Structure 1
Amino acid sequence: MFPSCKRSRRKSANKSILRGKRSMAKLGTEKRPIIVRVHSDEKARYVAEKCTEHGWQYIIGFETDKPEDISDLEKMLDPPAPVTLKKMGRNEPCQCGSGKKYKKCCGSGSVLSA
């Protein structure tokens, strides 16, 4: 293989990383297990039961000198809701409260001067 070919492959791999084509592994998989830190056997059993119930991979650490951290498990049990924005119609009242139609107020694209 020619040296120039190697360089072009590296550049294209770097571009795909910058474009976000390579993503992190999903939480709870073998590549990215749920990692928790607990103080008691009871909490460890709870974490193990929940992860096994859902088929998630996990790692439990017992560290009494550090605070408990089960944030990965909490993220998986209660994922954040996706943000949905209502599209503003041009003839609807403006959200700013002016009483004008959106197209005549914030949707006009013009800047008001003082």
Structure 2
Amino acid sequence: MSKCFFKGRIETRLNHVMSGYNVNRDVKAGTEEAPVSVVVNSEARKAEIEALVAEHAIVANIVVDAAQEENTVELDTVINKPKTIVFEKTPNRNDPCSCGSGKKYKKCCA
């Protein structure tokens, strides 16, 4: 970037560029910054959830309340993350066919 592009004092521009913060940062659920909220009905269930949280190294706020319905949806979503689906690459026209005929893909199965 040339000096002539910025209209104003160069010192101000440099200070402005150096300062700032990352606004696009993702906060991961289950960490210190964003703990998972879990509501359970009994102390025995709380012990089970604490063991599960310790096993997966997740931070969670566990509340025991017999009057409320059990809510472990956030914990289940953090533990059972969906895996990325990878599809097989389709062969190019001039590649050998995958059926084993020995012909080119464009002459056999395309």
TM over 0.5: yes
State the match for 1:23 in structure 2.
26
Q: Structure 2: how far apart are the matches of 1:31 and 1:100?
A: 53
Number of positions where the alignment pairs a residue of Structure 1 with one of Structure 2: 88
Structure 1 gaps, min length 5 = 94-98, 102-114
Task: Give percent identity, aligned residues only.
Answer: 19
With normalisation by structure 1, the TM-score equals 0.54
**Equivalences for residues 1-114 of structure 1 within 5 A:** 17=24, 22-25=25-28, 27-91=29-93, 101=110
User: Whose radius of gyration is greater, 1 or 2?
Assistant: 2
Q: Structure 2: how far apart are the matches of 1:81 and 1:36?
A: 24
Mark the CA change 1:4 to 1:61 in structure 2 (over 3 Å): closer, same or farther.
same
**AA partner of residue 23 (structure 1):** D
Please state which structure has a larger fraction of its residues in helix: 1
Structure 2 gaps, min length 5 = 1-11, 99-107
Instruction: Detail structure 1 runs of 4+ shifted over 6 Å in the superposition.
Output: none
**Secondary structure of 1:60's partner?**
strand
With normalisation by structure 2, the TM-score equals 0.55
